[in-house]
Amino acid sequence: MDEIRRQLEIFRRGCAEILPGEKALIERLEAGRPLRIKLGVDPTISDLHLGHTVVLRKLEQLQELGHEIDFVIGSFTARIGDPTGRSRTRPHLTEEEVRRYAETYQAQAFRILDRERTKVFHNAEWFDPMTFSDVIGLASRVTVARIIEREDFAKRLSEGRPIHLHELLYPLLQAYDSVALRSDVEIGGTDQRFNILAGRDLQESFGQPPQIVLLLPLLVGTDGTRKMSKSYDNYIGITEPPLEIYSKTMSIPDEIMLSWFELLTDLPIARLTEIKEGLADGSLHPKAAKKLLARTLVAQYHDETQAKTAQESWEQLHEPGGSRGTAPLEIPEVEIPYPTGEGGKLWVVEFIDRLRFTTRKGDPISRSEIRRLIQQKGLTIDGVPVEKISAMVEPYDGMIVSKGNKQFRRVRLPEGG
């Protein structure tokens, strides 16, 4: 019983809901066999951010308990597009786009999950061979009234927005994944509540024990108000450089720090309690706690050495006594062709354009954005703000250029240039 209590505590950590309740989960655990725990993802993005890792980290914790992790790639359902939270129909993806996104998604997910202990499935394996008669038979197991209970569908109907028939099939198809795998547990964000509960209903209609549902909160983004999303420009990508992960984490509001500790790290529960109590009684300064969070996140997606360097670089830039405005200890290097113009110089806008600075969304900054940054003194060369759009720059090997205080580039020129 002690082992079941220990496991239950790990299942509970960070969960918003366990459905139909903990009693059902305990009964499954008492069977004494590894549970088949499913996560289904539609690969519709190329890069994961911290918000995507909340469910992945939970799977990692359950994997460590010895349970079987079934990672379902929605290679078929991604072509339809999940209508959850959408006010209009998603654009269709091609098979090639889905394949490409799936490869990237898996590669990044396995920075968290143990590849050797994770079973990967593509739901096209069971959907592609289906005949139209099979689809009709599957559709007969659910009513339209049940499907349009979904909040997003109900909202579209009330606003007179179209709902296409293929969108109504999406929850049914996602639910069938659980039937195909005979899942014991399915995990997902709170926005997936309807879809995952539909899996329970469909399993019952096929005579299977209905899966337990674990719902995790949606991570609040760096703005402290909305869920983390590239659309809201409030995200931190897990492949971003160490200093950028560290700096963005240090910028989050204090109010969301504890939820980030709980949802994004594997710090022991006792340590999380110490942090919470220290913040409450004033014995732990919020800045010190946030440094621990930032360093922990960098170490998770890079390593401890780079986390230490990122912290030192951030302190060098932002704290009294540090060399504010100087370059951090480790920064990305960009090789540019040796200038062929008069005197080996380049117009500053052209020069900055070659250094591949990006927006917070990860897109290359435009030349108009470069001009705006110069006007706002947001670009520096060797710590000196660029004052004029008409300035000329003579690049040299090792020159350091910064965009704000979060993105840096070290210029490299070809040998013999």
pTM listed for this prediction: 0.74
- List, for residues 142-158, the tens digit of each pLDDT value: 999 988 888 888 888 88
All residues at 6 or more sequence positions from 353 whose CB lies less than 8 Å from its CB, including other chains = 367, 370
Asked if 244 and 409 count as a contact pair (C-beta separation under 8 A), the reply is no
Q: What is the spatial distance between Cα 151 and Cα 243, in angstroms, rounded to a whole number?
A: 40
pLDDT value at residue 154: 85
pLDDT value at residue 321: 54
> Which domains, and CATH codes, for the chain?
2-216 (3.40.50.620), 242-318 (1.10.240.10), 333-412 (3.10.290.10)
Q: What is the spatial distance between Cα 366 and Cα 280, in angstroms, rounded to a whole number?
A: 45
Q: What is the spatial distance between Cα 414 and Cα 406, in angstroms, rounded to a whole number?
A: 26
pLDDT value at residue 87: 46
**pLDDT grade, residue 180 (50/70/90)?**
very high
Average pLDDT estimate for 25-54? 92
Q: What is the spatial distance between Cα 351 and Cα 394, in angstroms, rounded to a whole number?
A: 9
Identify the H or E element spanning 118: strand 118-122
- List, for residues 268-284, the tens digit of each pLDDT value: 989 999 999 999 999 99
CA diameter of the chain: 79
Q: Which residue has the higher pLDDT, 336 or 39?
A: 39
Average pLDDT across the chain, whole number:
88
Q: Which residue has the higher pLDDT, 26 or 86?
A: 26
Enter the DSSP assignment of 41: E
